């Protein structure tokens, strides 16, 4: 296995990587030679047997299949219509907004794939509105656009242009060159995308999609034949016309339904050239969109309220207000009752705490051994005063000072204004 990897597998991988790099070379001749060598390499079989195995056919089959898959890999990038619109906003004016482009990471990713990785970007571009006809408003005009970064080519087509070589509009060309200049320094040429000529004012979208499909898959997708439509059928569209058409229903005004247009462009890109669909009228697609637009959800009472008269609606409203008033009154009554119960419970808990405090103080007095009845009464009186000062929250400092003055006055009356003499103990 190691011998096979070192002598057979590794050289093949190195040659494959080397040719892959040459295919991205700026020189066109080098790219052509690398492409031809790559095609020949896909047909070469691995004749060397794998070490340790007698049957080498699976190795050859896997190698050939892998090279064939690489050869058949389609390097196409299908982008939505808002890409070119955003680019024109950034680079189509007098002053190019390069700072704004650096903030758009999604645009930078597409630019790297188209100009640096050699892939082909395909899209449909909006060129503006057509001149109004029959007093109506002009319809939007869409054209195919492709950028081949490998061969440095801008592909462009216009179903309304009768020239053999239509050229890019100046604003669009300026935008593409400015975008290209950020990612590549090579000069790009212009080529025409084969497209079916348009003989009406609404088929630009299907023609552009068919041209893009033919560019991506030229072997299986043919250019649609021009459709010659009687102008009298424009005002009489039928529902069967849409069923006969090989593509999905595409609004001729993609500005109002870009999602449908983008889905068709990003997925199947199918169009049948042998179909002969009728021509939708100016309001047919709008009616179709209105019929298939999801309606907002309605409440079950919406229809009921519509059928009510003014008097019934007033009575129903009054009844609702009465019910609401009764419910509010009950809630307030319940809240008041709960608040009153909380106050009673709090008061009872306070009374229990006070009783416990008195019982504890009484026990302490008895344990201290007070026997003098007068002293006991005085001490009890003092304790009661202290309890009142400590427990009553409404007691203030002036109230305590007044009590102290009363005590001093009683003490003076008891001693007749004389200060008590200190009894000295005899010396031993």
* Count of CB atoms situated within 10 Å of the CB of 148: 21
CB-based contacts of 31: which residues, under 8 Å, 6+ apart?
A: 22, 23, 24, 25, 150
Q: pLDDT value at position 51?
A: 44
Residue 33 has pLDDT above 70, yes or no: yes
pLDDT digits (tens, 9 = 90+) for 75-123: 778 888 888 989 999 998 888 888 899 888 889 999 998 899 888 898 8
Overall average pLDDT of the 284-290 stretch: 45
Provide, rounded to the nearest whole percent, the portion of the chain with pLDDT above 90. Answer: 7
Beta strand 153-156 pairing with 140-148: antiparallel
Q: How far is CA 39 from CA 19, 43, 48, 163, 252, in A?
A: 11, 7, 20, 37, 43
For residue 189, the surrounding DSSP H or E stretch is strand 189-192
Q: In which band, very low, low, confident or very high, does the pLDDT at 229 lie, cut at 50, 70 and 90?
A: very low
**In terms of pLDDT, which residue wins out, 402 or 135?**
402
**In terms of pLDDT, which residue wins out, 134 or 349?**
349
3-state secondary structure of 381: helix
**In b/e form, how buried is each residue of 368-402, taking b as 16+ CB within 10 angstroms?**
eeeeeeeeeeeeeeeeeeeeeeeeeeeeeeeeeee
């Amino acid at each position: 296995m190691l011998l096979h990897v070192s002598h057979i597998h590794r050289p093949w991988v190195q040659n494959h990587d080397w040719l892959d790099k040459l295919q991205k070379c700026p020189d066109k001749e080098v790219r052509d030679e690398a492409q031809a060598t790559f095609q020949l390499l896909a047909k070469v079989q691995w004749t060397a047997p794998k070490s340790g195995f007698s049957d080498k056919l699976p190795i050859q089959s896997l190698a050939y299949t892998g090279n064939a898959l690489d050869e058949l890999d389609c390097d196409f990038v299908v982008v939505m219509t808002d890409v070119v619109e955003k680019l024109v906003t950034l680079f189509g004016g007098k002053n190019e907004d390069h700072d704004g482009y650096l903030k758009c990471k999604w645009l930078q990713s597409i630019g790297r794939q188209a100009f640096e990785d050699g892939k082909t970007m395909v899209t449909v571009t909006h060129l503006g509105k057509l001149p109004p006809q029959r007093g109506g408003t002009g319809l939007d005009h869409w054209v195919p656009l492709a950028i081949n970064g490998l061969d440095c080519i801008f592909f462009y087509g216009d179903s309304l242009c009768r020239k053999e070589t239509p050229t890019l509009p100046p604003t669009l060309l300026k935008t593409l060159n400015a975008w290209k200049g950020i990612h590549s320094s090579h000069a790009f040429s212009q080529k025409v995308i084969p497209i079916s000529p348009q003989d009406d004012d609404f088929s630009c979208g299907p023609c552009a999609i068919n041209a893009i499909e033919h560019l991506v898959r030229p072997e299986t997708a043919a250019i649609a034949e021009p459709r010659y439509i009687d102008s009298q059928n424009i005002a009489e569209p039928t529902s069967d016309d849409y069923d006969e058409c090989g593509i999905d229903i595409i609004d001729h005004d993609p500005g109002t339904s870009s999602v449908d247009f983008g889905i068709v462009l990003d997925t199947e890109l199918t169009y049948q050239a042998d179909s002969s669909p009728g021509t939708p009228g100016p309001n047919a697609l709008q009616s179709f969109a209105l019929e298939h637009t999801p309606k907002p959800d309605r409440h079950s009472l919406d229809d009921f309220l519509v059928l009510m008269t003014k008097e019934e609606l007033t009575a129903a409203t009054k009844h609702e207000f009465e019910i609401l008033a009764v419910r509010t009154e009950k809630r307030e009554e319940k809240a008041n009752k709960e608040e009153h119960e909380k106050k009673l419970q709090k008061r009872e808990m306070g009374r229990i705490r006070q009783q416990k405090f008195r019982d504890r103080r009484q026990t302490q007095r008895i344990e201290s051994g007070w026997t003098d009845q007068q002293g006991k009464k005085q001490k009890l009186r003092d304790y009661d005063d202290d309890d009142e000062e400590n427990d009553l929250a409404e007691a203030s400092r002036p109230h305590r000072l007044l009590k102290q003055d009363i005590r001093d006055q009683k003490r003076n009356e008891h001693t007749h204004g004389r200060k008590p003499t200190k009894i000295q103990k005899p010396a031993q």
